[in-house]
Amino acid sequence: MAGEYFGIPYTISAATSPFLGIMIDRIGRRGILVIASSIILLIAHVINMFLPDCDQCYTEILPLVLIGIGYSIYAAALWSSIPYVVEPRTMGTAFGFCTAIQNAGMAVAPTIVGAIIEKTANDKTHGFFWASFFWACVCIVCLGLNFWLYYEDIRNNGGQLNKLHRGDALADLMKSPTGTERREIE
């Protein structure tokens, strides 16, 4: 049952990410949405900290749904922000750098969470309290970094992340030059 539950965030992300991408293309507000997603993730982990231990119960569904929503918003808003804050000649480097940071976190975090759960297995609080506390702390740090990103974008980039960039993204994608046309442009 635990395996089915932990598929909830990924199912929500898979189902909602395209629609969130369309919404973000239509409203902009990437900086605000990144902050909002951090708040949603923080709320999810704080709720998880205080859920009672139970066997065969459904209380864990709410935090997992919130994690799926927060993750979807974060991914759609953050990744789509990169083209607006870096020069075209460094786009690949920026995406590579972001991917490297994401993968480093995905490599290190499970080891940290495993160690936390192992060290606190005999704690009076339920087994995942301190793991959820760790994730809540990560969310607080990310929230601070996201506020900093928001501030720096306004200060140095004229608030590009929150602007609505006009144009029909689907039409632009369909008009994208073919390989032959790109070679002719170069």
What's 159-176 look like in SS3?
Answer: CHHHCCCCCCHHHHHHCC
Query: What pLDDT, on a 0 to 100 scale, did the predictor assign at position 170?
Result: 46
Helix (H, G, I), strand (E, B) or coil at 29: coil
Encode the chain (186 residues) as per-residue pLDDT tens digits: 667 788 899 999 999 999 998 899 888 899 999 999 999 999 999 998 888 777 667 778 889 999 999 999 999 998 888 888 888 888 899 999 999 999 999 999 999 999 998 888 776 666 688 889 999 999 999 999 999 999 998 998 888 888 876 655 445 545 555 555 555 555
Query: What pLDDT, on a 0 to 100 scale, did the predictor assign at position 1?
Result: 65
| Percentages of the chain per state (helix, strand, coil), in multiples of 5 | 80, 0, 20
Query: What pLDDT, on a 0 to 100 scale, did the predictor assign at position 104?
Result: 95
What is the distance between the alpha carbons of residues 180 and 113, in angstroms, rounded to a whole number? 50
Query: What pLDDT, on a 0 to 100 scale, did the predictor assign at position 51?
Result: 82
Q: At what angle do helices 91-119 and 61-85 cross, to 10 degrees?
A: 150
Query: What pLDDT, on a 0 to 100 scale, did the predictor assign at position 85?
Result: 82
Question: Within 10 Å of residue 70's Cβ, how many Cβ atoms?
Answer: 24
CATH level 2 (architecture), domain 2-185: Up-down Bundle (1.20)
Domain ranges (residues) in the chain: 2-185
Q: What is the pTM of this model?
A: 0.80
